[in-house]
Amino acid sequence: MDLDTNLLRTVLALVDGGGLDAAAQHVGRSPSAVSLQIKRLEDRLGAQLFDRSGRRLVPTRRGLLLVDYARRILRLNDDAVRDIAEPAVSQILRVALPQDYAETWLPGFLQTFSVNHPEIDLRVSVGGGVDALEALARDEVDVAMALGLPLTEGAIPVAEVPLLWLGADSAVSSGEVVPIVAFPPPCRFRERGIEALDRAGRPWKIVFTSPSLGGVRAAVRAGLGVTVRTPEGLGDGRVDVGGAWALPPLGTVTLAVYPGPSARSGPAGQFVDSAVDGLRQTLAT
């Protein structure tokens, strides 16, 4: 029986990170997928490796023994690959991704992919979906990801993502006119919010614009107004205020990956497949 090095890396991520959420971000998988990996390893070894306490997994005596072996096995494995493998020809892969996932799913996924595919030289830009698709059309990027935009030929729909009205957890509706914090146009989320308010007959005003998601989030957290975002924007003083402010529902948007011609096979195609799989697992939890 052989030990899967990917499973061993998950074990170390779990122990070193202190919990399921941190381990999942490190290996680019969902917490439920990490839990299933550990269960599969325990079944294969016929031993309980962790005591489960909520979302924390504490190593048992046998689990600590495995951790010691895992560090030695992976160190030898990585040394062998580094010392013996022929240097790979680097392939540049240009990727445009939405800001919504830049602080959550993206860092762990990119780190794991870079470790597993050192032959890929990733060049990542983070920004708006419209800009990403325009860059793809101009052949300035090889892969784009966007929310709420039309599915062009070859696009891969990942999931339907709900839109929420986000406001400060301490904010109270100041009246009939809805204060909106948004990106400058063109912005599909801005459009969806305004269209929903117009259909409901609710007056609105733009009180703050920023080209960066950080600026939008800061303005909302300060109580300047509400914004339309995905659930990725919850937390850090921001909550769903749609019900409390009697705001109209916003429905969902499609999250999709748009591979260019050069990203439909080989290592670039593997990036697309890994991104789609990782996002689907993350959004399913």
pLDDT tens digits for 115-131?
888 888 889 998 888 88
pLDDT at 199: 96
Q: In the structure encoding, which two tokens stand for residue 187, read together?
A: 């912005």
CA distance 179 to 186: 19
Judge if 168 and 246 occupy the same domain: yes
Question: Which residues form the domain of 152?
Answer: 91-159+254-284
Judge if 108 and 220 occupy the same domain: no
pTM of the predicted structure, to 2 decimals = 0.63
Judge if 133 and 270 occupy the same domain: yes
pLDDT at 55: 61
pLDDT at 178: 94
Judge if 115 and 131 occupy the same domain: yes
Stretches where the chain sits below pLDDT 50 are none
pLDDT at 172: 73
pLDDT at 197: 96
Judge if 242 and 170 occupy the same domain: yes
pLDDT tens digits for 183-212?
998 888 999 999 999 999 999 999 999 988
Judge if 132 and 269 occupy the same domain: yes
The enclosing domain of 175 has a CATH number of: 3.40.190.10
Judge if 266 and 143 occupy the same domain: yes
Distance of CA 75 to the CA centre of its chain: 29
pLDDT at 256: 93
pLDDT at 111: 85
Give the count of domains, the chain.
3
Judge if 143 and 185 occupy the same domain: no
pLDDT at 88: 54
CA distance 140 to 125: 11
Judge if 122 and 174 occupy the same domain: no
Judge if 192 and 260 occupy the same domain: no
The enclosing domain of 69 has a CATH number of: 1.10.10.10
Q: In the structure encoding, which two tokens stand for residue 173, read together?
A: 């509706």
Judge if 155 and 260 occupy the same domain: yes
pLDDT tens digits for 222-235?
999 999 998 888 87
